[in-house]
Structure 1
Amino acid sequence: MKLAFDIALRFLKSSKGQTALIVLGIAIGVSVQIFIGSLITGLQKSLVDKTVGSAAQITVSPQEDGAFILDPQAEIKTIKAANPEEIKNVVAVTQGPAILNTTDESATILLRGFDWEAAEGIYKMSDRIVKGELAANENEIIIGEDFAKNLNLSVGDTIELITPARKTGKFLITGIFDLQVKSLNESWILSNDRAVQEFLETGEGVSQIEMQVNDVFAADEVAGEIEKRLNDDTLVVTNWKEENAALLSGLSGQTASSLMIQVFVMISVVLGIASVLAISVVQKSKQIGILKAMGMHNPKASLVFLFQGFLLGVLGALVGVGLGIGLSWSFATFVTNPDGSSLVPFFIDWSFIGISAGIAVAASTLAALIPAIRVSKLDPMEVIKNG
């Protein structure tokens, strides 16, 4: 085996131009795979982070409209027990509609209250505050940036809210937030859980329990586990995949198109390697014939070209990984939005890169089977006789 390896290495060194050309072809194939894969993955990760990364991914709420979860802490304990490894950032939310009453006009809003610390993992409100601070005390609220602009409100102003039950309350604006979603900035008014529970008169009850999971694409499976664990017909468990079918379809389409491109790129690389090595058999037929005449058996002669394919694959994969990472970094660095941020964030999945490199090596080795089989059929005497 060592002899076959040494001969394969010598053949590659004797045709440096041809070797460099094959290595370059493999490297381009691997780099395209890594670049497209990293680009699509980075785009999907960015899209998911912006849409569901800062929102509830699974929600447990009462089946009946207007009802409340009366013992939220007990339900939260049951929910966490359903899948403790996946479920994270669980928060109880109390919410209800209210009317903002001003001297100029009125507006319908959604008043939401939760424990700020518990909600931080999902909504990251401390980072969303653009002016002022979180509403920590009774009768304090924070409002959305668009809502403040539309009604000309600012930190320190006091507004009056009216519930559907005609209860009124005055609230001090302590902060203005930006959730980067216009509809939420215009309709949400947030406060601490105790203040909202008292104003909406829900007692200890909450409107829903929201949470996130470690693997956002497993949200539907985790939701099913939670539903089984709760075993309560009065509660409904929903997840973001059910409510964002169009987004999920788009992500699946991106993944499928990326996979198809990568498959065809690799097929072209395999065909290129097989054709070049087949020509190499013709070029080296005299040397192979002499070696076989001196006693080299067909399996060892075939191994020479299999080792060639393996070595070419390893070299091409190494160069391709470096080139692919460089292309991904360049795209993320120089292709930017008007505000200077990266259009698609730089994302490297080392497991994907390892798989791409492994496929390249395996494909190169398999491509060498064609010339290896051809070598095994060479008649050494006929080759030497014909020169």
Structure 2
Amino acid sequence: MKLPFRIAVRFLGSSRGQTILIAIGIAIGVSVQIFIGSLIQGLQKSLVDKTIGSQPHITLTSKDDDGLISDYSILSDKIMSEVSDIEAISASADGPALVKVDDDTYSVLLRGFDIQKADGIYNITDSLVEGVLPSNGYETLAGTDLMDEAGLMVGDSLELITNLGQTEEFKITGIFDLGVSSLNKSWLISNLYTAQEVFSYDEGVTSIEMQVNEVFSADAMAVEVQNIAGDGIKVDNWKDQNAQLLSGLNGQSVSSIMIQVFVMISVLLGIASILAITVVQKSRQIGILKAMGIKDGTASLIFLFQGLLLGMAGAVLGVAFGFGLLFSFSKFALNPDGTPVVPLFIDYRFIALSAMVAVLASMVAALIPARKSSKLNPIEVIRNG
């Protein structure tokens, strides 16, 4: 094994320009693969975070006529104890209402939460731009859009008309911004017990919401939750509710894989063609080595080692180029506020896999010239010069 390795190193060193050219070609292929793959993964992560990052991944609602889940705390505790990878779980008591401000009315959804638990899903505390959280009394948070449109301020009172025709007065203790205009305009956030009292839900809630650690496993986890909850509970997950988003993410993944495959094929063909030419260039030397007693298998190993060395050199350079491209993109492709258009996302397992694929592709490309070298007849090669 040492002899073919040393000969391979010598062959590569005798044609330094050609060796550098091949290594750079592999490096470009690897860097493009890393850049595109990381860019697509970063874009997907950003899209998922923006669309469902502050939304429930799994939602439980009742199939009963009253639409209420009783004994929700027992069910929540059971789900948490039997289903792994649940990041947050929160009960909600919701009800439609109208807000009357002077002569204007606004359609809203009063949402009652245990805000400490709901923070794990909606980040309500961090979204508070002014004021304080509501207490157990008839207090509420209102969104920025509703406050602007209705001309309200923290400390003002709201006249809330429920779907039961009752009129209740709420005090605005704070303003939130959830980053979604429709929610900022239509949601009022209050304490769970307050909403239950306003809508006469007694001890019931309208939904149990949860977030999971692995968002793309939400559909599988929803099946586990359904088995625990029973037939009286309807279990929805974000993947079923966002079919178009999933279709777009899958399309991005497929296009990324296709680009990476064609890049590697072009690199493989380039290496194979150049090494095949090397067999012709070095045919006299190979013929002399065979005449001196080197076996056909050893002659083949020379080119396999060349492919291995070229692949390793190209992979190392490619990883360095790939990091450079990612860093440059994150610094120059910016939004007006100075944030990156696509957040920098580095998956070290993907980068390591890309480097390994490059090395394997280089060795596969070396099989053709290796086989060709094994068939050389030393007598004919030496005779023909």
SS in 2 for 1:165: coil
Deviation at 1:65, TM superposition (A): 5.5
Structure 1 residues 176 and 65 mapped into 2: Cα distance closer, same or farther (>3 Å)? farther
2:30 partner letter: V
2:145 partner letter: D
1:289 partner letter: G
2-structure distance, mates of 1:40, 1:203? 48
SS in 1 for 2:346: coil
SS in 1 for 2:240: helix
Equivalence for 2:323: 325
* Stretch deviating more after TM superposition (75-84 or 356-365): 75-84
Matches within 5 A, 1:136-215: 136-215=135-214
SS in 2 for 1:125: coil
1-structure distance, mates of 2:185, 2:23? 57
Equivalence for 1:340: 338
2-structure distance, mates of 1:373, 1:254? 39
1-structure distance, mates of 2:348, 2:65? 47
* Stretch deviating more after TM superposition (312-321 or 129-138): 129-138
Equivalence for 2:57: 57
2:101 touches 2:150 (CA, 8 Å); kept in 1?
no
2:72 touches 2:208 (CA, 8 Å); kept in 1?
yes
1-structure distance, mates of 2:65, 2:163? 14
Deviation at 1:122, TM superposition (A): 0.9
Deviation at 1:137, TM superposition (A): 3.7
Deviations 1:238-280 (A, max 9, x none): 0001111111100000000011001000000000000000001
**Structure 2: 5+ residue runs without aligned partners?**
none
1:152 partner letter: G
Deviations 1:300-323 (A, max 9, x none): 110000000011000101110111
Matches within 5 A, 1:306-321: 306-321=304-319
Matches within 5 A, 1:345-384: 345-384=343-382
Taking structure 2 as the reference length, the TM-score comes to 0.98
Note if 1:279 corresponds to 2:277: yes
1-structure distance, mates of 2:35, 2:195? 49
| Identity of matched residues, % | 56
2:48 partner letter: V
Deviation at 1:80, TM superposition (A): 2.0
2-structure distance, mates of 1:204, 1:41? 44
1-structure distance, mates of 2:129, 2:175? 6
Deviation at 1:103, TM superposition (A): 1.5
1-structure distance, mates of 2:171, 2:191? 13
**Structure 1: 5+ residue runs without aligned partners?**
none
Deviations 1:196-249 (A, max 9, x none): 12222212211100001111111111001111122x222100000111111110
2-structure distance, mates of 1:280, 1:83? 60
1-structure distance, mates of 2:289, 2:135? 86
1-structure distance, mates of 2:48, 2:197? 35
Equivalence for 2:4: 4
Equivalence for 2:77: 77
SS in 1 for 2:381: helix
2:144 touches 2:175 (CA, 8 Å); kept in 1?
yes
Q: RMSD of aligned C-alpha atoms? A: 1.1
Deviations 1:69-102 (A, max 9, x none): 1101111122224422x22201111111111122
1:349 partner letter: D
Equivalence for 1:46: 46
Deviation at 1:135, TM superposition (A): 1.4
2-structure distance, mates of 1:82, 1:263? 41
SS in 2 for 1:338: coil
- Runs of 4+ displaced beyond 4 Å: none
SS in 1 for 2:133: coil
Equivalence for 1:35: 35
2-structure distance, mates of 1:245, 1:151? 35
Deviations 1:48-72 (A, max 9, x none): 0000111001000111464211101
Equivalence for 2:224: 225
Taking structure 1 as the reference length, the TM-score comes to 0.97
2-structure distance, mates of 1:351, 1:66? 50
